[in-house]
Chains A and B, each alone.
Chain A
Amino acid sequence: MEWASQLCENRHIGSKMTDSKYFTTTKKGEIFELKAELNSDKKEKKKEAVKKVIASMTVGKDVSALFPDVVNCMQTDNLELKKLVYLYLMNYAKSQPDMAIMAVNTFVKDCEDPNPLIRALAVRTMGCIRVDKITEYLCEPLRKCLKDEDPYVRKTAAVCVAKLHDINAQLVEDQGFLDTLKDLISDSNPMVVANAVAALSEIAESHPNSNLLDLNPQSINKLLTALNECTEWGQIFILDCLANYTPRDDRESQSICERVTPRLSHANSAVVLSAVKVLMKFMEMLPKDLDYYGTLLKKLAPPLVTLLSAEPELQYVALRNINLIVQKRPEILKHEMKVFFVKYNDPIYVKLEKLDIMIRLASQANIAQVLAELKEYATEVDVDFVRKAVRAIGRCAIKVEQSAERCVSTLLDLIQTKVNYVVQEAIVVIKDIFRKYPNKYESVIATLCENLDSLDEPEARAAMIWIVGEYAERIDNADELLESFLEGFHDESTQVQLQLLTAIVKLFLKKPTETQELVQQVLSLATQDSDNPDLRDRGYIYWRLLSTDPVAAKEVVLAEKPLISEETDLIEPTLLEELICHIGTLASVYHKPPSAFVEGSRGVQHRRLPARAGSGESSESPDVGQPVGAVPDTPPAVIPSQGDLLGDLLNLDLAPPTSSAPTVTPSMQMGAMDLLGGGLDSLMGDESETLGGDIAGSPAMGAGLASAPVVMPASLGAPVSSGLDDLFDLGGGVGMPTGAFVVPKTIWLPAMKAKGLEISGTFARRAGVIQMELSLTNKAMSVMTDFAIQFNRNSFGLAPAGPLQVLTPLSPNQTTEISLPLSNVGPVMKMEPLNNLQVAVKNNIDVFYFSCQYPISILFVEEGKMERQVFLATWKDIPNDNETQYQIKDCHLNSDAATTRLQSSNIFTIAKRTVEGQDMLYQSIKLTNGIWVLVELRVQTGSPNYMLSVKCRAPEVAQLVYQCYEMVLKN
């Protein structure tokens, strides 16, 4: 009754005012009532009931029980009711697949309806019902709709192909829909073209290598024509698709650019950004001396600035993109500083982004204005914003030398405010300023020291300690200050501890007499009482250094520091290139490649900018042509330093060799010491550099994470480069008869460094014996004789099993090949990286030292096949924390081929399981020192990527095992 009266009311008010009541019913037995209403004879009542059902569905109630009743309402000529029923179907069909079949007939019938709107509605909805049985019936109607006379139906059908592909890709291919879809790119209606492009682009993403879109000059021309005619959204689809195209030459590139530039005046920001993406990418191909290149650069600035008057959310997207564009092509916006000034009412996310860009654009020409602005910002309310502003002032000082003095005085003013976080931030940046301009602004140290007590953030404390240590000779009570920090040494963060250790050592080297006690205290705190391996390592190095050679210590610790870079937070160039190809998208907002946040294979292919035309130009930007895939390969050399773990491990598993170590003959030990002494230079050289790196990286320690991996390999690179090279230059390996893979020889010791002796070599395991294969070349003028070789202690106790047999004297320009068998019973010491080997080679001229890295596969013993039962038990026994996973990309072997190949390198497959098209191989490896490594290798048929899970009681070896797999599988 209540309903009837309400309905009467509806008639008067008009139905639009009444829908909200559907949200309010929450009675018990509601479902039952609804059921009755749905089966009512009265059309109005039916419709009302369906509305209620939809309302319940929206708020999350389960109304799936009404499925048959709702589907019964489908047969109606009331379009509104039909749409409601369809909406319900889309939501619940999946949970009731059998019932959903009931709807098929109506769909098929609707697809034949004379009204194009109904035909389109049917095909659109059908595509959203993800039930296998229904998709079968969808094919015929879809085929008809793709060729429908009405463009509205065709544009809907085009999207439907993408839907169907998402449900059943194979079906779409088998039915030939892809070809029909391709034909639609030539359709007369621009919207059909746009939707077809969108659908094809999406499908192409899941088939990275297929040439689905088949972009060629003709099809590009069609797209560019449609671009002028279709809706704003269609323009976006087309531009995004164009961005994937690589023009044949610079002329084609220019002509596309010319036809895309008018889009920069579109009211829709997304159209503008997508056009910018196309231009930024294709510009890469234009010769820089071309007039058009300059014109294009000029044309880009105004639309980018205009984006800043859009709504705040779009401004944010625009600013994130501008940040990338400014890094790639600073010239575009260099005169537009003012538009990035922060407005008082900007949302915080816009403010922070603007500030970022301001720092990037700061230059001598505009620094006065920028500083005045930053000073204003430093007094605002939002803590993050203020911090960033303070930091920005410091960045300006480092970037523009002329402004340094003004920046420092501004910072001092800010310190005077005594606002805690402002002071801390200021101290952090002042440290960087000291780094950049040594011995210039020390007068402010006194002011800084006044604020010592208020510093409670690790970064600020570390910065302050660094300053005290660095200028210890000018601060009278430096020892007292540092001592005061030492009291709570163990409560400090690692960053502060490391800094404190270094600062006190510096102090000691500067004022040795008064501070001996202090330095001993800190060294013992760092080495004996600390669990942190980094701290301990550094402590030991200092200790040894100080006790053996104080002069050398001075040279190392107080060495001149490398220059600190002017730009910070720069995105690594290859990533930047990729992000430029993703302008406007989420990737450009997150500043991360799509693979970092998109699941599955979709969109994970790397994009890169095209190379510039003309040979002379390409050398200008060497990074352009480099395959992006190479990036993740660079840093794996760093092994997590869990020294104690490995120590344990060595003690446990290597009892005989370790106990024998102390009994090595005196001469042997001398040799080892010698080696260490000689090797120390290079070791310390790189240590001091990493120390420097520590400090250099700190200007924006927030970004330290991003910069660290880039800095580290560079500083480590010099001393171990040859070793690294041989790990990574794996291309074109020569397969040995035994099948085990051997890395080609690389140069370990260049002739330049060894008075004419050049040593190249590699490692191999042949018939159970580890061989070091050496080529000695005499590049000097005189004959070389009396060769001998020794190894430093190393992680797996490798040692020469016999003397180095060079039978005849080596005359100038002669090369001799030697195979040196190695044993694994030598003295053991953990190396960094684990597989590092330091070698001394002597001849009649001198002793030479070098280090190299061996592939861990030479340590895989022949009896490494574990019993199934034992394997299972061991796998369970090893804690999950010790499991490490890796992905091996682009490997095209099937699981059987992989098994055979791995077997030849003593990696034994124990069991194989196939689950849902995925082969799981369980494999075991035994190392020479008795460590077992268990591996699960997952091979997905049809996918070039393998998943590797390594489980071992000594997790340090996992990385090396992974490298070994990479090497064996890919060669």
Chain B
Amino acid sequence: MIGGLFIYNHKGEVLISRVYRDDIGRNAVDAFRVNVIHARQQVRSPVTNIARTSFFHVKRANIWLAAVTKQNVNAAMVFEFLYKMCDVMTAYFGKISEENIKNNFVLIYELLDEILDFGYPQNSETGALKTFITQQGIKGQHQTKEEQSQITSQVTGQIGWRREGIKYRRNELFLDVLESVNLLMSPQGQVLSAHVSGRVVMKSYLSGMPECKFGMNDKIVIDKQGKGGTTDEAGKSELGGSSGKQSIAIDDCTFHQCVRLSKFDSERSISFIPPDGEYELMRYRTTKDIILPFRVIPLVREVGRTKLEVKVVIKSNFKPSLLAQKIEVRIPTPLNTSGVQVICMKGKAKYKASENAIVWKIKRMAGMKESQISAEIELLPTNDKKKWARPPISMNFEVPFAPSGLKVRYLKVFESKLNYSDHDVIKWVRYIGRSGIYETRC
């Protein structure tokens, strides 16, 4: 199991050091600093073995988090734990930075003592932790016996992510379908790979211990219901942009630990008791029938050894009534670029020498439109034999629909003990499609 946990700043100074196992000596702290943080060559693996001691590290901004062990631990678990620890810290004091860590080091030690025992991760749900690890550190004394046992049963219980007795005057929930669409396209416009990785993020403000059921246009479910398609007909045009797909094929999905997995496995229904506040209900991935919101058509021509002509056309491919936002096209330029002239029909384009790229920004663009940029790049003559690698043109954008075609069909709330019903809950649904790694080779 995890033998110790260290946090360093960018210089390699230790901010937090907690050793759980006897086999990890003080010199392990220095070994990591010397061999990884100060290493002459950048370390090429997130797992490093130094003198029979294994170090797992992740970096958040300038901060290094390292877990140390001498045993054959579950490596996936260690990384999941490190991420989880970042989440917990962020939930407690915001951004992970040297200043925040120094300001909260007592809290961090307290958390580390609670969520990692002898190197075994324990309950690390912020909701539960916040009931008894507080920044004031005084809550412990003023609790009644009932409160105390409520805390312990929540921390260890089956529903470790929610406490009893939550009350809201207005029962409300927000559902965001956030998708990132990834594309790799050849210069000729052939899709080399495309997939959508989506997340359903929920903010729930519900009283009591509500039982929820979530439904979407999952192909397997729809097909099972037989001719369910006719009832969905009306909702077809509701979802902008999508070409009226009734159901989508989900390649795979994963769920927050509140979802009953065995029920999903047997009936494919998603039922759960939600945590309070914001959390990620599910993640999913689709690869079939993806709506690619933009198409990039590059044209690069080398004019002699010192000049390059670039023309890039982008076409929006969704309903004209919808607007894409925050569009950014990044056209890489060779390292020996000396000057760039750009002409674009829409938006603003700039050559950024420090980033070796022309960045073209468009605030808004409706569907079924196209726009163009052309640039002349002057090059310095070089002796470098190696040709310019021509990195792909990448794109960023945000569209108000789900490129996978996913639709929320329902989210039902049942709470038998309290007197509110599914109808009383105010529900909000929103779809946002963003670009993931959206690249076209040129």
User: Which residues on A are within 8 Å of B, measured CB to CB?
Assistant: 14-20, 22-23, 51, 54-55, 58-60, 77-80, 83-84, 86-87, 91, 114-118, 120, 124, 127-128, 130, 150-153, 155-156, 159-160, 162-163, 166, 189-192, 195, 198, 202, 228-233, 236-237, 240, 259, 261-263, 265-270, 272-274, 302-303, 305-306, 309, 311-314, 316-318, 338-339, 341, 343-345, 348-349, 352, 369, 372-373, 376, 379-381, 384, 417-419, 582, 584-590, 594, 597-599, 602-603
CA distance A192 to B251 in the complex (A): 35
Contact of B52 among A156, A263, A599 (CB under 8 A): A599
Q: How far is the CA of A155 from the CA of B138 in the complex (A)?
A: 24
* CB <8 Å contact, A192 and B156: yes
Give, as a whole number of angstroms, the nearest-CB distance from A262 to chain B: 4
A83 to B257, Cβ gap below 8 A? no
Residue of B nearest to A236 (CB): B77
Beta-carbon contact of B137 and A590 below 8 Å: no
Those of B309-330 within 8 Å (CB) of chain A: none
Q: Return the CB mask of B95-109 against A: 1 if under 8 Å, else 0.
A: 000010011111101
17 contacts between A and B (CB under 8 A): A22-B105, A79-B141, A115-B148, A159-B118, A159-B120, A191-B156, A192-B156, A261-B265, A265-B253, A306-B253, A316-B46, A344-B439, A348-B44, A352-B44, A372-B186, A419-B385, A586-B47
Per DSSP, are chain B's interface residues mostly helix, strand or loop, or mixed?
A: mixed
Contacts A228-B262, A313-B46, A338-B192; is A305 near B148 (CB within 8 Å)? no
A514 to chain B, nearest CB (A): 37
Residues on the B chain within 8 Å of A302, using CB: 251-252, 285
Contact of A419 with B386 at beta-carbon distance under 8 Å, contacts A130-B22, A313-B56, A598-B71 already known: yes
CA distance A151 to B186 in the complex (A): 58
Closest chain B residue, CB of each to CB of A369: B192
Q: A54-B109, A127-B118 are in contact. Are A266 and B76 (CB under 8 A)?
A: no
Is there contact, CB below 8 Å, between A345 and B13? no
User: Within the assembled complex, what's the spacing in Å between the Cα atoms of A6 and B155?
Assistant: 36
Q: How near does chain A come to B215, taking the closest CB pair, in angstroms?
A: 16
Q: Which residues of B contact A (CB under 8 A)?
A: 1, 13-17, 19-23, 26, 29, 44-47, 49, 52, 54, 56-58, 69-77, 79-83, 93, 99, 102-107, 109-110, 113, 117-118, 120-125, 132, 135-138, 140-141, 143, 145, 148-149, 151-153, 155-158, 160, 184, 186, 192-193, 195, 197, 251-257, 260-262, 264-265, 280, 282-283, 285, 385-387, 389-392, 394, 437, 439, 441
Alpha-carbon gap, A282 to B117, bound state (A)? 31
Closest 8 A-B residue pairs measured CB to CB?
Answer: A80-B137, A20-B102, A302-B252, A152-B152, A270-B76, A262-B265, A270-B77, A262-B261
Q: Are A118 and B140 in contact (CB under 8 A)?
A: yes
Alpha-carbon distance A352/B46, docked complex (angstroms): 13
Given known contacts A60-B14, A115-B143, A155-B156, A274 and B74 CB-to-CB distance under 8 angstroms: yes
> Is B72 in contact with A598, judged by CB distance below 8 angstroms?
yes
Query: Once the chains bind, are B109 and A116 in contact (CB under 8 Å)?
Result: no
In the bound assembly, the distance between CA atoms of A843 and B3 in angstroms comes to 71
A19 engages B104 (CB within 8 Å): yes
Secondary structure at the A interface, as helix, strand, loop or mixed, is helix
A290 to chain B, nearest CB (A): 19
Contact among A166, A192, A195 with B22 in the assembled complex (CB-CB below 8 Å): A166
**CB <8 Å contact, B104 and A117:** no
Tell me which of B21, B99, B155, B257 contacts A152 (CB under 8 A). B155
Min CB distance A336 to B, Å, is 10
Q: Cβ of B132: which chain A residues have Cβ within 8 Å of it?
A: 117
Whether the Cβ atoms of A418 and B385 lie closer than 8 Å is: yes
Q: Shortest distance in angstroms between A150's beta carbon and chain B's nearest beta carbon?
A: 5
Judge whether B79 and A314 touch: CB under 8 Å. yes
In contact, A584 and B74 (Cβ under 8 angstroms): yes
Most buried by B among A80, A240, A338, A376: A80
B74 contacts A195, C-beta separation under 8 Å: no
CB of B152 within 8 A of CB of A117, answer: yes
A116 to chain B, nearest CB (A): 5
CA distance A60 to B8 in the complex (A): 13
Max count, chain B CB within 10 A of own CB: residue among A160, A232, A343: A232
On whether the beta carbons of B105 and A58 are closer than 8 Å, the reply is yes
Chain A residue nearest to B391 in the complex (CB): A344
Question: B74: which A residues are within 8 A, CB to CB?
Answer: 236, 240, 270, 273-274, 584-585
Given contacts A190-B158, A274-B76, 4 further A-B contacts (CB under 8 A): A54-B106, A267-B280, A274-B77, A309-B285
**In the complex, are the beta carbons of A17 and B106 less than 8 A apart?**
no
In contact, B256 and A267 (Cβ under 8 angstroms): yes
**Interface pair A317/B75, CB less than 8 Å apart:** yes
Residues of A close to B13: CB separation below 8 A: 59
Residue contact B76 to A269, C-beta cutoff 8 Å: yes
Nearest Cβ on chain A to B442's Cβ, whole angstroms: 11
User: Does B257 contact A597, Cβ atoms closer than 8 Å?
Assistant: no
Contact B76 A599 (CB under 8 A): no
- Chain B residue nearest to A15 (CB atoms) is B135
Q: Decide: B262 and A17 in contact? CB cutoff 8 A.
A: no
A417 to B145, CA, bound (A): 77
Question: Within the complex, what minimum Cβ distance (angstroms) separates A135 from chain B?
Answer: 13
A191 cross-chain contacts in B, Cβ below 8 A: 122-123, 155-157, 160
Neighbour of B46 across the interface among A229, A236, A312, CB < 8 A: A312
Q: Quick one: given A19-B104, A191-B123, A341-B192, are A162 and B118 in contact (CB under 8 Å)?
A: yes
**CB-based contact B102/A376 at 8 Å:** no
**Shortest Cβ distance from B155 into A: residue:** A152
User: A417: which B residues are within 8 A, CB to CB?
Assistant: 385-387
Q: Which residues of A contact B21 (CB under 8 A)?
A: 166
| Neighbour of B120 across the interface among A91, A152, A237, A313, CB < 8 A | A237
Residues of A within 8 A of B23 (CB): 599
Contact at B14–A58, with CB atoms within 8 Å? Answer: yes
Tell me how far the C-beta of B223 lies from the nearest C-beta in chain A, rounded to whole angstroms. 17
Q: Which B residue's beta carbon lies closest to that of A313?
A: B46
Whether A80 and B120, one on each chain, are in contact in the complex, defined by CB atoms closer than 8 angstroms, is no
Distance between Cα atoms of A198 and B119 in the complex (Å): 11
Q: Which residues of A contact B136 (CB under 8 A)?
A: 15
**Are the C-beta atoms of A87 and B113 separated by less than 8 Å?**
yes
* Chain B residue contacts of A269, Cβ below 8 A: 76, 79-80
Expressed in whole angstroms, the minimum distance between the Cβ of B332 and any Cβ of chain A is: 10
Contact B252 A314 (CB under 8 A): no
- B103's partner among A20, A118, A316, A597 (CB-CB below 8 A) is A20
Give CA–CA (A344, B393) in the complex, Å.
Answer: 10
Would A231 and B160 count as touching, CB distance under 8 A? yes
Q: Which residue of B lies closest to A321 (CB)?
A: B76
